[in-house]
Amino acid sequence: MASSLYCLKFVYLLSFLSTIHLVAVPSFSFVQPLCHGHERSYLLQFKESFAIINNKSISFDPSAYPKVASWTLEGNNSDCCSWDGVECDKSNGHVIGLDLNSSYLYGSINSSSSLFNLVHLQRLNLADNHFNHSQIPSTVSNLSKLTYLNLTNSTFSGQIPLELSQLSQMSSLDLSYNHLEIKNPSLGRLVENLTCLENLDLSLVSIISIVPNILANLSSLTSLRLYDCKLHGEFPVGIFKLPNLRVLNVRKNKGLTGYLPDFQWKSPLEEMILANTSFSGKLPASVGNLGSLTEIDMRRCNFSGLIPSSLGNLTNLNYLDLSLNTFEGHIPSSFGNLIKLSFLHLAENELNGTIPFKLANLTQLTHLFLYYNHLSGQIPFGLMNLTKLSSLGLAGNHFAGEIPSSIFNLENLEALDLSANNFAGVVEFDKFVKLRKLTSLHLSDCGVSLIINETSDNTTLTKFQNLGLGSCNLSKFPNYLANQDELKWLHLATNNIHGQVPEWFWNVSKENLEVIDLSENFLTSLGQYPVPLPWTRLAILDITSNRLQGSLPIPSFSTLEYHVSNNSFTGKISELICNMSSLQVLDLSINNLSGSLPQCLHNFGDSLLILDLRRNTFEGSIPQTWTNGSKLLMINFSQNKFQGLLPRSLAKCIMLKALDFSNNQFNDTFPSWLGNLPNLKLLILRSNKLYGPISTHKAKYKFPSLQIFDLSYNSFTGSLPLKFFQYSNSSRFDSASHLTYIEVNSSFIVQNSFQNYLWNLQYSYPMIMTNKGVVTDYKKVQEFFIALDFSSNRFDGDILESIGNLNLKGLCLLNLSNNILIGHIPQSLKNLVNLESLDLSQNKLFGEIPQQLTQLTFLESFNVSHNHLVGPIPQGKQFNTFPSNSFEGNPRLCGSPLTKKCESSEVSLPSPTTPEESKDLGSPFQFGWKIVLIGYGFGLVVGVIIGQVVSARNHDWLIKTFGMRKLVRRLI
Ligand SMILES: *[C@@H]1O[C@H](CO)[C@@H](O)[C@H](O)[C@H]1NC(C)=O
Ligand SMILES: *[C@@H]1O[C@H](CO)[C@@H](O)[C@H](O)[C@H]1NC(C)=O
Ligand SMILES: *[C@@H]1O[C@H](CO)[C@@H](O)[C@H](O)[C@H]1NC(C)=O
């Protein structure tokens, strides 16, 4: 399919030999003149300057052969005009054409090449050879009669010489697919005198400039191809008006802006390829006047507005791709007139309404993609007339009703994606299996329940490559899987599969399976499984959220992501696990695993991004084996029984964003050696046996990105480590980052013969803070969110007045409770304007509560209880909302909400309590009622995108088949 589309496109391109004008041969001469001796020797010299290397990397065209092999003086062969690829003028014998494309020529070429002595040359084709990164020699200007020059894909490099601009006869210039650039001269100067140009192809030439207006003066242009030239600026609208232009291709120039003009003229335009640019605006109704169009490709631009129904006038259209824009409104029913259409792609827009029943007229359609819009209604029965359909993508809409049974008549279907819809009813899976060509089926979360009838003869059935049956109400593993050996990905997540994984499962598609997702079922046992698991290409294994018991399976050593979270696995981690030397994600969280970690964990050193061991019962110390060059981004050791020192070698993991040691028994001083990690945003040390003062001396370069910093429930002493925020990276408080989260994305593409699937994994740090019974649920931590929890330690001294002046503008949560802090509550706290929660309780603070704190308009929770505060409680704004227990245990505070009324003297004469007076309140550690409970966990989003890849066209057709936002798993 793919290659035939490709061929169609180029079939009309004439081989140049057939374009040669026959010159009348004078009637008195019946003998064609022989070639000229000097030209013959130029040709032979040219031949000698290259090696002939019969290899695909030199000439990739399947029909390539070494044409110059016939260039020899041996035998009766000295007439060079009869040599392969050589064309002579029939009247005078001069060499006027050389067609050496795909001839396995390998070697450099320079200005002194004898080629440039062939001054009668009109046509020169050296395409698809390998000129070893030569520059295009400037002596090309000797060939002043050249009308045709084709150097495509022949490994030329460097600047295109200005001399080329002297070839004023040039009508066809193809320099595409090399490593060329156009800097000086500019594109404008290069072509300004090439007024005869008909075909210009500079695809992949690095032009890095605007498109010069002068191109709009080249009135002979019939084709202009500037694919992937790094163009920018606004596209000259005059080019659309070129009277002879048939092909316009500016695909993949993301910097190129432009709009479509009002087409009130006759135009022979056949191909309008603007995909992957920043063209914007509406598709004007007048586009319906371009009656010659056969191909419109506007994929991934910025077009918007309605799709004009006049598109239905373009009855020659064969290919229409408007995907990945923001078109809205309905699919015009006039599309039913486009009876030559074979490819229709409207996916990932904002279209609504139903599928027009007239689309049933498009009997030539092979590809129909409408996925990820807002389409609704039923699938029109008539669509099933589209018997040539090979790919049908309707995922991610609101289609309802039953899946029409006639879909099972589409015998040519190779890929069907109905996932993420609102269909209803029960469908027999066998019916899909009988579609003999179907290799890719995605029904996950489409709304139907599948029944699997196991009676049919399994051996003759379809071989699937991709099978997505997530959320299909399956209650067992489909037996027919046992005969699948081409399967690349298998998604059975979120079904009702109970019990043991069948034994035959370990033999399914051993050579091909790359992704297995069995998560969110009720599996209790893996039964007898091979060690390691048998799939030699396995990349992703996800069995999270089942009820699996026993020891941890060891996946194939090829595995990139290993997810077993939220099961009941027990026992130690085997050393064998370290053989997964490409591992990127290791998520063993929420199991009953125990013992110490294998020393060999450093084997993951180079590849591991995410390590989550949270909520197990691991013990012992953590291996000191992290290495330089580590890519680790997130590590979670929390809620285990780890002991001993914190692993110093983590200081080498310079990419780290999040590190959680909380709820263990680490016995160490503060890890100031982590202070040089440039990206560390979360550091959670809560509830360990950490002790001693925290030196912020030389704090200038410490913890430059820290924003969630939890030291609570340890035995730290000395003054508060606020100085880390004195010189911090101000960019972390950029308002621009307000919509981003602390997360890690990784993706994996399963490549299939004609479809690609992108598995997109997004790990973010969800966070729950329970404060005074108010649960604040941060599903993800926004990049700007800042929280400091230093509570329940032995910090002493003042809360410095300078706190309000630190780089903490975004601070949302500050908890200093249950320490031995003395002194006043600083007025400057009022500067922390984003503060939502402030807890200073159970310290030895004295003086009054500063009136200025009423300026904290986001403050939801405030606690200063059990201090030695005096005087009136500030009144108004948020302070009217705080309950009395926010203030209790301060006998000399007065005013609402406390019952104690203020004396007038107290209002005017605040008298600070001395530290002596506060002694009788006892140690702050006697208060055990604490407070902030923070659970950190990894949340998991898995997205699946099916990509339709027609490699010859080099399209990146991606079909999103799962939003999978529904698969956000809260693991706390
Ligand atoms: C260029 O040639 C290389 C190998 O010689 C081949 O792999 C590639 O597909 C060719 N590209 C185009 C655009 O023809
Ligand atoms: C240049 O040669 C290649 C390979 O033969 C061909 O595909 C392409 O169409 C030619 N370019 C032009 C402008 O004729
Ligand atoms: C194009 O032709 C004009 C007039 O002959 C000449 O002045 C100019 O230099 C030429 N441009 C280039 C790039 O050769």
Nearest-CA residue for ligand 1 atom 7 is 60
Q: Which of 183, 198, 213 is a domain's end point?
A: 198
Least confident of 847-851, 898-902, 925-929: 925-929
What pLDDT does residue 751 have?
A: 67
Centroid of ligand 2 to alpha carbon of 178 (angstroms): 13
> CATH code at 97?
3.80.10.10
**Of 717, 711, 675, whose CA–CA distance to 694 is shortest?**
717
Pocket test for ligand 2, best of 8, 12, 13, 14 (most atoms within 8 A of CB): 13
Residue written as tokens 């802006």?
Answer: 257
State the pTM of this model: 0.80
d(CA 814, CA 769): 12
**162 Cα nearest atom in ligand 3:** 13
Nearest-CA residue for ligand 3 atom 8 is 193
pLDDT of 918 > 50? The answer is no
Q: Which ligand is nearest to the CA of 126?
A: 2
Nearest-CA residue for ligand 2 atom 4 is 127
d(CA 371, CA 392): 9
Q: Are 542 and 518 in contact (CB under 8 A)?
A: yes
Residue 871 counted as domain residue: yes
**Of 903, 876, 877, 899, whose CA–CA distance to 887 is shortest?**
899
Residue 853 counted as domain residue: yes
Nearest-CA residue for ligand 2 atom 12 is 174
Q: The domain containing residue 884 runs over which residues? A: 726-739+765-972
Task: Spell out the SS3 assignment of 516-566.
Answer: EECCCCEEEECCCCCCCCCCCCCCEEECCCCCCEECCCCCCCCCCEEECCC
- Confidence bin at 696 (pLDDT 50/70/90): confident
**Of 52, 175, 70, 173, whose CA–CA distance to 123 is shortest?**
173
pLDDT digits (tens, 9 = 90+) for 250-274: 999 999 999 999 999 889 999 999 9
Q: Which ligand is nearest to the CA of 225?
A: 2
What pLDDT does residue 727 have?
A: 56
What is the mean predicted confidence (pLDDT) over 745-773? 61
Q: Are 418 and 443 in contact (CB under 8 A)?
A: yes
Pocket test for ligand 1, best of 3, 13, 60, 63 (most atoms within 8 A of CB): 60
Centroid of ligand 3 to alpha carbon of 163 (angstroms): 11
Q: Which ligand is nearest to the CA of 58?
A: 1
**153 Cα nearest atom in ligand 1:** 1
What is the number of structural domains in the chain? 2
pLDDT digits (tens, 9 = 90+) for 407-456: 999 999 999 999 999 999 999 988 888 898 999 999 999 999 999 876 65
Nearest-CA residue for ligand 3 atom 10 is 193
**152 Cα nearest atom in ligand 1:** 14
Residue 934 bridge partners (DSSP): 769
Q: Which ligand is nearest to the CA of 222?
A: 2
Q: What is the mean pLDDT of the chain?
A: 84
Share of the chain above pLDDT 90, in %: 63
d(CA 488, CA 671): 45
The ligand 3 site (C-beta within 6 Å) comprises: 165, 189, 192-193
Q: Which ligand is nearest to the CA of 166?
A: 3
What pLDDT does residue 756 have?
A: 67
Residue 839 counted as domain residue: yes
Residue 944 bridge partners (DSSP): 759
More confident residue, 362 or 404: 362
Q: Which two tokens stand for residue 546?
A: 């089942």
**16 Cα nearest atom in ligand 2:** 14
Full DSSP string of 244-262: T--EEE--SEEEEEE----
pLDDT digits (tens, 9 = 90+) for 610-638: 899 989 999 999 988 777 778 888 898 99
pLDDT of 700 > 90? The answer is no
What pLDDT does residue 907 have?
A: 52
Residue 405 counted as domain residue: no
Residue 257 counted as domain residue: no
Full DSSP string of 851-900: GGGGG-TT--EEE--SSEEEEEPP-SGGGGG--GGGT-S-TEEESTTSSP
Q: Which of 141, 175, 198 is a domain's end point?
A: 198
Residue 851 counted as domain residue: yes
Residue 128 counted as domain residue: yes
pLDDT of 1 > 50? The answer is no
Residue 944 counted as domain residue: yes
Q: Which ligand is nearest to the CA of 197?
A: 2
- SS3 category, 147: coil
Q: In what order do the strands lie in the sheet with 767-771?
A: 774-778, 767-771, 933-936
Q: Which two tokens stand for residue 716?
A: 């730290």
What pLDDT does residue 646 have?
A: 94
Pocket test for ligand 2, best of 7, 59, 63, 152 (most atoms within 8 A of CB): 152
Neighbours of 384 (CB within 10 A): 17
Q: Which of 164, 198, 232 is a domain's end point?
A: 198
- Confidence bin at 26 (pLDDT 50/70/90): very low
The ligand 1 site (C-beta within 6 Å) comprises: 57, 60, 153, 177
Residue 124 bridge partners (DSSP): 98, 149
What pLDDT does residue 416 have?
A: 93
What pLDDT does residue 404 have?
A: 87
Residue written as tokens 């030699």?
Answer: 536
Least confident of 9-13, 84-88, 965-969: 965-969
Centroid of ligand 2 to alpha carbon of 53 (angstroms): 21
d(CA 760, CA 956): 16
d(CA 818, CA 931): 10
What pLDDT does residue 891 have?
A: 94
d(CA 116, CA 131): 16
For 743, residues 6+ apart whose C-beta sits below 8 A from its C-beta are: 762, 763, 764, 765, 780
- Confidence bin at 5 (pLDDT 50/70/90): very low
**101 Cα nearest atom in ligand 2:** 5
**Of 642, 636, 645, whose CA–CA distance to 617 is shortest?**
642
| DSSP 8-state code for residue 648 | G
pLDDT of 836 > 90? The answer is no
Residue written as tokens 């014998």?
Answer: 93
